[in-house]
Amino acid sequence: MLDQVTALHYVDPLRAGGSVPGVVETDDLGTYVVKFTGAAQGRKALVAEVIVGELARRLGLPVPELRLVDFDPAVAAHEPDPEIQDILRTSAGLNLGMDLLPGARDFRPGMIDVDPVAAGRIVWLDALTGNVDRTVHNPNLMVWHGKLWLIDNGAALVFHHRWSGAAAAVGRRYDLSAHALGGYRPDVPLADRELGPLVTAGLLEEVVALVPDAWLADEPGFDSVEALRRAYVHHLAARAELSAEWLPDEFPTAEQLRAAELQRAARTRAGRPAWLQEVPDLHGKPSVETVWDHHFE
C-alpha cells in the first residue's frame, strides 16, 4: 500500500475545485493537499487518483508523492464553514493526500515552453485513462521549478462509474480537442510507441494493489474486492492494446477552437432569460480570447 500518515492539523480548505480538498499537516512533518472520501465525488475519485497517479509515476511522468492520510475530524474542529464540516465529518479514516508543492503555480497554456515529447506523454496517458479534465479551461497541471506536474486525476477512469458499459468503452476515443497541451504539438504516436509496451498486466496489478480495500468494497456486480481489482487491470490492459482505436492523431487550430467555444457560449446565452443574456462569467475563468491567444503562441 501507499505510505500512511496521520493528520495533525487541518490548515485550510482549497475552494478552487468541486471536491474542496484541504491543506493538512501530518505526523511525518509533511504538508499535503488531501481529498476526502466524504466529498461529492466520493471514493471513486480517490481510486482514480491512486491508479492514474501511480501509473503515471511508473511511466516516468512527474506526479507529487501520494500518501494515505488517516484523518480524525476532530483536528478540523476550528473550520467555520458548515458545508465543509459536513464533508470532514463523513471522512473519518483513510483519505488521500498529495504532497503540497510550495510555490507551485497553476499552469496556463503559453506560460512556459513544453517539449512536444513531454506533451505527448501526458496527452497519451490522459487518452489511455479517459481523463476528461485536463483542458485549456482547467489544466490540472502545476509548474514547479520550471517543470510540469500532473495533479487531480480524479476525473479519469470514466468507465468505473458504470461497469456495465466498461467493455464497450475499451476502444472508445475521447474528445481531447481542448486539451491543455494541444497547442504544443504533442507527439502522441511517439508516446504510444514508448509507453504502450510498458503498460502490462503486471504493472497494472502493482498499481491497482495500492488502492485501499475500503475504497473498493461493496461495488455492485462484483463478489469481492479482488474481482474488482482484476476488472481494473483487465480494462486498462485491453485499452493499452487497442491504442490504434483511440490514439489522438491531430488537434484543431486555435481558430477552430475559438469558433467552437464561441458557438457554445452563444448557445448557452440563447437559453437564458432576456435579463441574463449579458451577464458575464463569474467563475473566474479567463475569457475565450485570452485562452486561445495564449494557447497557440
CA–CA separation, 157 and 160 (whole Å): 6
List, for residues 241-261, the tens digit of each pLDDT value. Answer: 999 999 987 776 667 666 766
Q: How far apart are CA 76 and CA 24, in angstroms?
A: 9
What is the per-residue pLDDT across 128-141, written as a single tens digit (0 to 9) for each?
A: 999 999 998 899 99
Highest average pLDDT, of 167-176, 223-232, 253-262, comes from: 223-232
Beta carbons within 10 angstroms of residue 218's beta carbon: 9
* Gap between the terminal Cα atoms of the chain: 43
* Sheet containing 147-150: order of strands: 105-106, 141-144, 147-150
2 closest CA partner among 80, 67, 83, 46: 67
Q: Tell me the backbone φ, ψ of residue 202, rounded to 5 degrees.
A: -65, -45
pLDDT tens per residue, range 50-66: 999 999 999 999 999 99
pLDDT digit string (tens) for 8-58?
A: 999 999 987 668 999 999 999 999 999 999 998 899 999 999 999 999 999
State phi, psi for 156 to the nearest 5 degrees. Answer: -80, 180
Report residue 287's pLDDT band, with 50, 70 and 90 as the boundaries. very low
- For residue 54 the three cell numbers come to 501511480
Q: What share of the chain is helix, strand, coil (3-state, %, to 5)?
A: 40, 15, 40
Q: What is the dihedral of CA 71, 72, 75, 79, to 10 degrees?
A: 90
